[in-house]
Amino acid sequence: MKRTLTHLADGRELIYFDRNDGADRGAVDTRELPARPVASELRYDPLTEEWIAIAGHRQGRTFLPPADECPLCPSSPGHLTEVPSASYDVVVFENRFPSFSAQIGDYEQAGGLSEVRAGIGRCEVVCFTSDHDSSFSRLSPGQVELVMEAWIDRTAELSAIPGVEQVFCFENRGAEIGITLAHPHGQIYAYPYVTPRTKLTLGAAGRHRDRTGRNLFADVLAAEREARVRVVAANEHWTAFVPAAARWPFEVHLYPHRRVPDLGGLEPEERRAFGPLYTEVLRRLDGLFGVPMPYVAAWHQAPVNSGRDLAYTHLEVFSVRRAPEKLKYLAGSESAMGAFVNDVLPEEAARLLRAVVTS
């Protein structure tokens, strides 16, 4: 793998990840870009003990442009994009409209009981392929490995930024999810705090270890592999299953068979084995109703400075689609109370996904 670091016209970093060591990445970004926005402000909610990012500059971000104006495609004559080169394998760059960044501004206290501080961190875009009309499910095993190398590289680098407490790699896919760009891509958030979901799961894992002396995530995986009824697919190094208490109509978790705190802990053979299984799962999701399945794919990794002995890296992919013409909306119970009601029995979801013909 060849890794090339360069900069965009406004100073943001861009990194090319290439399979070919001879790839020429000397193209320069000649656009005239406005100054980078300052970091969002974080406001503390004393009722939930959570931090909320207020990022008004994101209201102006690019929204669903036509394919010939896509900012994630390679640059071409008359169409200069976020990627200066005329082609690429995988590319990562700092988001032009970040929720978190190192561009610190002036922040006033909000009053009341809400503390305000700068949203220090970083947000990056990961372009999985230069092919605008492709998808993650269509990537070759070698291309998925390259994407994973980019995730691993960025997790390590972003974890080293002062003030960053957690690194989150994810993909939003589909208009129903709320994407703003259709090109196959994901994002990486480097948070200045540990996220609420991670706090909850690591808290549960800590209590489980106190009671049993074992790792909670490993026990969940072992129980699902033994029960088999919710397993969708598996290979020597990974198992994909629908969790017994799935929140979403179609939700699949992919676990490596060996516990590691973050993606960098995976061995080469584990990295190679991931792509074929994951793209199979995505093809099963796409084949379920005969239309591209909207989804969120979320990597759960250990925080930078806490819980690393408890965490178990795994991927969660879920969809809001519950039937061919029906979506699951977060209604009163879910949105207001955080109390989920799932319309699809997890065992039935797993059976339907297993039944999809993927070849």
CB of 145 within 8 A of CB of 17? Answer: no
* Nearest-angstrom CA–CA distance, 347 and 110: 48
pLDDT of residue 56: 85
H-state helical runs in 14-127 = none
pLDDT of residue 11: 97
Active site amino acids: 185
CATH 3.30.428.10 fits 2-193, yes or no: yes
Examine domains 2-193 and 197-350 and report if their fold is the same: yes
The secondary structure element, H or E, covering residue 8 is none
Burial class (CB in 10 A: 0-12, 13-18, 19+), 265: middle
Structure tokens at 18: 């290439």
pLDDT of residue 200: 98
Distances in whole angstroms, Cα of residue 15 to Cα of each of 25, 88, 266: 10, 11, 22
* Burial annotation 305-326 (CB, 10 A radius, 16+ → b, else e): eebeebbbbbbbbbbbbbeeee
Residue indicated by tokens 């390259």:
146
H-state helical runs in the chain = 141-159, 196-212, 216-227, 268-288, 332-337, 346-355
Within its chain, how far is the Cα of 53 from the centroid? 18
Q: CA dihedral in degrees (267, 165, 306, 304; nearest 10)?
A: 20
* Nearest-angstrom CA–CA distance, 221 and 254: 9
Distances in whole angstroms, Cα of residue 40 to Cα of each of 11, 126, 165: 18, 21, 16
CB of 169 within 8 A of CB of 151? Answer: yes
Annotated binding site: 70, 73, 132, 183
> Inter-axis angle of helices 346-355 and 268-288, to 10 degrees?
90
CB 73: neighbour CB atoms within 10 A? Answer: 20
User: What pLDDT, in 10s, does the model give residues 181-192?
Assistant: 999 999 999 999
One-letter amino acid for residue 294 of the chain: P
* Nearest-angstrom CA–CA distance, 238 and 329: 31
Distances in whole angstroms, Cα of residue 73 to Cα of each of 54, 62, 213: 29, 14, 50
Please, what are the averages of pLDDT over each run of 10 residues along the chain (359 residues)?
97 97 96 94 95 90 92 97 98 96 90 92 98 98 98 98 97 94 98 98 98 98 98 98 98 98 98 98 97 97 98 98 94 95 97 93
pLDDT of residue 221: 98
> Inter-axis angle of helices 268-288 and 141-159, to 10 degrees?
110
pLDDT of residue 332: 94
Q: Where are the domains of the chain?
A: 2-193, 197-350
Annotated binding site for Zn(2+): 70, 73, 132, 183
One-letter amino acid for residue 324 of the chain: P
Distances in whole angstroms, Cα of residue 310 to Cα of each of 199, 218, 261, 265: 11, 10, 8, 14
Residue indicated by tokens 């990486």:
188
Q: SS in 3 state form for 291-309? A: CCCCEEEEEECCCCCCCCC
pLDDT of residue 27: 97
pLDDT of residue 26: 96
- Whether the pTM exceeds 0.85: the reply is yes
Within its chain, how far is the Cα of 251 from the centroid? 15
* Nearest-angstrom CA–CA distance, 307 and 301: 10
CATH pick for 197-350 out of 3.30.70.270, 3.20.20.70, 3.30.428.10, 3.40.50.300: 3.30.428.10
